[in-house]
Amino acid sequence: MAVTRDDVEHIARLARLALSDAELPQLTEQLNGILGHMDVLQRVDTRAVLPAAGVGDAGMRLRADDGPPTPLARGRASFAPETRDGFFIVPRLATHENASADDAGGADE
């Protein structure tokens, strides 16, 4: 299952990473190198086991969705790139006139 340069460009878009043309060949080669070592897993028979997403068999404990409170020691403005009236400010989304799947940033999955 060789990874192509197009694959790397595709997953970079999914991961919201901009890669330069100079980085692509090396990353493609490195990913192929790493994934080559993973092929050994294909030979293992795992039909008899349930895939393990975690280590516990008990699952997570649930609690009422009402706390506990985790008050912040300092306000959002002290750590956020941009805030106004307690809200996080983000760059303007596409308007109806120039809407594109790209600007919304979530339509290519």
Partner 1 sequence: MTAVADAFRRMSEVRAGAEGLNIVLSSDERAALNEERESASRAAGAPARPTLAGVPVAVKDNIATLSLATSCGSRILEGYVSPYEATAIAKLRAAGAIVVAKTNCDEFAMGSSTEHSAYGPAKNPVDPRLVPGGSSGGSAAVVAAGITRMALGSETGGSVRQPAAFCGVVGVKPTYGRVSRFGLVAFASSLDQIGTFGATVDDAALALETIAGVDLLDATTADEPVPHYGDSRTERLDGVVIGKPREYFPDSLDPRVRALCDRSLDHLRALGAQVRDISMPHTDLAIPVYYIIAPAEASSNLARFDGVRYGLRIEGDGLRGMYEATRSKGFGAEVVRRILLGTYVLSAGYYDAYYKQAQGVRALIAKDFRDAYASGITAMFTPTTPTPAFAIGAKSADPYEMYLSDIFTVTANLAGVPAMSVPIGRVDNLPIGGQILAKHFDEPAMFRVAYALERALGAEARS
Judged by the rule CB under 8 A, the positions of this chain that interact with partner 1 are 1, 3, 7-8, 10-12, 14-19, 27, 30-31, 33-35, 37-38, 40-42, 44, 46, 49-56, 60-63, 68, 70-76, 78-82, 88, 90-94, 102-105
Instruction: Name the minimum Å distance from CB 105 to partner 1.
Output: 4
Instruction: Name the minimum Å distance from CB 60 to partner 1.
Output: 5
**Which ranges in the chain belong to alpha helices (H)?**
5-14, 23-38, 101-104
- DSSP assigned state of 44: S
Q: Which of 40, 43, 44, 39 is nearest to 1 (CA)?
A: 39
How many other CB atoms are found less than 10 A from the CB of residue 9?
14
Give just the sign of the alpha carbon dihedral 13, 17, 21, 25: negative
Instruction: Name the minimum Å distance from CB 28 to partner 1.
Output: 10
Instruction: Name the minimum Å distance from CB 25 to partner 1.
Output: 14
